[in-house]
Amino acid sequence: MKLLVLGAGGFIGHTAVREAVLAGWEVVGLVRSDEAAQRVRRAGGTPHLFSVGDPATWAEAARGAHAVLDLIQPSLPGRLTGRAIGRVAATRQETTRGVLRTLLSLPEEERPLLVSVSGMDDLAPGPGRTVSHLSAPRETPVGFAHVGLPVRRLVEASGTPAVHVCLGNMVYGPGKGFGDLIVPGLADGRMPVPGTGRNRLPIIHVEDAARALAHVAGLPDVAGRSFVATDGTVTTLGELFDGTAALLGAGRPRRLPRWLTVPFAGGIAVRTLTLDVVADTSALTETGFAPRYPSYREGVAATLAELSRPVRPRARAVP
C-alpha cells in the first residue's frame, strides 16, 4: 500500500518514512526542499517536491494512496509566547486548508485517509485527569491546543475521511527539543525543571510515534476514530529530567517555579511541559501495537547512544 507523508523531512516525518518502509509501505515523502528530499531518500522513501497550497503539485501523488500522514509543522520561535503561538496557529490552519483542498479535489472514491496528528493538550481530562480516545476536545485551548484544536475543527468540517492521533506532549529522540536543547542543557547543568516536576507528562520516543502513525494508517475502518499514542507509562517530568541527567553523569537538575521559566521559554512551552494528565492508550494497544521503547529508561538510553553521548550505567540497588 502507498503512504504519503507530508513534512517528510522533519523530525517525526523522516522517522515516519523510515519506519513505514520497514513496515512494508510504499512511501512517498512530500517535501519542500532538496535537503529534505535527501533525508527522505536516506530513510528509504521516494521524495516528491510540492507546494502544499497548490493541489496541482501533489494531487496525482495522492491519487491511489491508502493514507496521508500530515506531519507539516511550521517553524517555532525560540520563545513560545501567546502571541507567537497565534502566528504559528494561523500558519498551520492555512497549511491545513491547502491539504484539504488537494484531497477534496480528488474523486471521493480515490481520496486517501487523512491521519491528522496533534498532542495531548487538545484533550479535556476526565476523572483522575485521564485522557483517552474517548476524551472530548478542550473547549478552551491550552499549550499547543491553540494550534491543534482549530486544525481538528477544519478537518472535521471538511468531511474528509480522517483519523485523529494525539501523541505524547513530548516526542523525544535525537533531535528537536529533546535532543537539541534539553539533553545539552541537562549535561551542562543549565536546564531546570519547570515547576515541581511532579506533573505526569505523556511521552513517546520518536520511533514509536512514527510506528504508531504508520500502524494506525493501515488499520481498517478507522475514519472518524481517535487514538492516543504514548509509551503507556506514568512518568513525571522530574523523573524524565532526573533520569536523563543521571545517564549523562550530570547533577540532578534544579526545580524552578513555573513563572520564573516563562520569560526564557515562553508561557506556551512551559504550559505544555507541565501538563499533568494520565494517558489511556488502550484503543491503540488493543489493535496490536506495542512500543519499541516501553519507558523513558530504554528510550533515553537509545537517544543518547545515537547522539554519541556516553551513558553512565545505573547503580545497582544494594540488597
Residue-wise pLDDT for 117-160, tens only, equals 999 999 999 999 999 999 999 999 999 999 999 999 999 999 99
- pLDDT for res 176: 86
pTM of the model: 0.94
Of 6, 106, 101, nearest to 54 by C-alpha is 101
Residue 311: pLDDT band by 50, 70, 90 thresholds? low
Q: What share of the chain is helix, strand, coil (3-state, %, to 5)?
A: 45, 15, 40
- pLDDT for res 318: 33
In the block, cell 521503547 appears at 293
- pLDDT for res 53: 81
Across 173-181, average pLDDT = 92
Give the span between the Cα atoms of 141 and 143, in whole angstroms: 7
- pLDDT for res 319: 33
- pLDDT for res 252: 97
Of 10, 73, 68, 18, nearest to 207 by C-alpha is 18
Is the pLDDT at 313 greater than 80? The verdict is no
Map residue 251 onto helix, strand or coil: coil
Across 293-313, average pLDDT = 88
Of 265, 268, 274, 261, nearest to 86 by C-alpha is 268
Is the pLDDT at 7 greater than 70? The verdict is yes
Across 63-83, average pLDDT = 91
Instruction: Out of 75-79, 245-249, 307-311, give the one with best mean pLDDT.
Output: 245-249
Is the pLDDT at 235 greater than 60? The verdict is yes
- What is the residue-averaged pLDDT of the chain? 94
Across 157-181, average pLDDT = 95
Strand stretches in the chain, DSSP E: 2-6, 26-31, 46-49, 67-70, 113-119, 130-131, 162-167, 170-172, 193-194, 203-205, 226-229, 255-256, 278-279
Is the pLDDT at 316 greater than 70? The verdict is no
